[in-house]
């Protein structure tokens, strides 16, 4: 990597290449996997760096048939960071993958076996 160059991620999607920040790309990949797991699709807007170096927005339809690749890519522009987009993508993933809650204490009448 040359002096002053930064590594972001290049998203390859539907024959296009989109340059975006690492956290954005990683969150997009997680959402794409979660959608594929439940056989659903969703429209997603992510910030990208346009060829001119200006910031833009890309709209993607991601779902089970989406073929998305994220590749590290050098860039002269500063890392693209958008915490609101990352938070939105991560919340979508959580809604698709609910996690189970557990108690620290066993239910009444059930004792944990300490000798196992």
Asked if residue 116 is part of any domain, the answer here is no
Asked if residue 41 is part of any domain, the answer here is yes
Asked if residue 107 is part of any domain, the answer here is no
Mean pLDDT of the chain: 87
pLDDT at 76: 86
Q: How many domains is the chain partitioned into structurally? A: 1
CA atoms in the 13 A half-sphere facing the CB of 11: 27
pLDDT at 62: 95
The average pLDDT across 4-22 equals 89
Asked if residue 71 is part of any domain, the answer here is yes
Asked if residue 103 is part of any domain, the answer here is no
The region, left, alpha or beta by phi > 0 then psi within -120 to 50, assigned to residue 14 is: left
Domain extent at residue 20: 6-94
Does residue 57 contact residue 47 with C-beta atoms inside 8 Å? yes
pLDDT at 97: 86
The answer, yes or no, to whether residue 21 has pLDDT greater than 90, is: yes
Q: Please write the tens of the pLDDT for every residue from 80-114.
A: 999 999 999 999 999 998 765 555 665 666 665 66
Which of the four pLDDT bands, split at 50, 70 and 90, describes residue 1? very low
pLDDT at 17: 95
Sheet holding 68-75, edge to edge: 55-62, 42-49, 16-20, 6-13, 68-75
pLDDT at 2: 41
């Amino acid at each position: 990597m040359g002096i002053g160059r930064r590594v972001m991620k290049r998203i390859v999607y539907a024959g296009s290449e989109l340059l975006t920040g690492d956290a954005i790309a990683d969150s997009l990949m997680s959402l794409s996997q979660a959608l594929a797991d439940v056989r659903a699709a969703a429209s997603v807007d992510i910030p990208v760096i346009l060829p001119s170096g200006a910031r833009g927005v890309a709209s993607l339809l991601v779902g089970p048939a989406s073929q998305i690749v994220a590749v590290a890519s050098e860039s002269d522009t500063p890392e693209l960071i958008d915490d609101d987009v990352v938070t939105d993508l991560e919340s979508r993933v959580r809604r698709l993958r609910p996690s189970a809650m557990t108690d620290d204490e066993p239910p009444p009448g059930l004792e944990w076996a300490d000798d196992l």
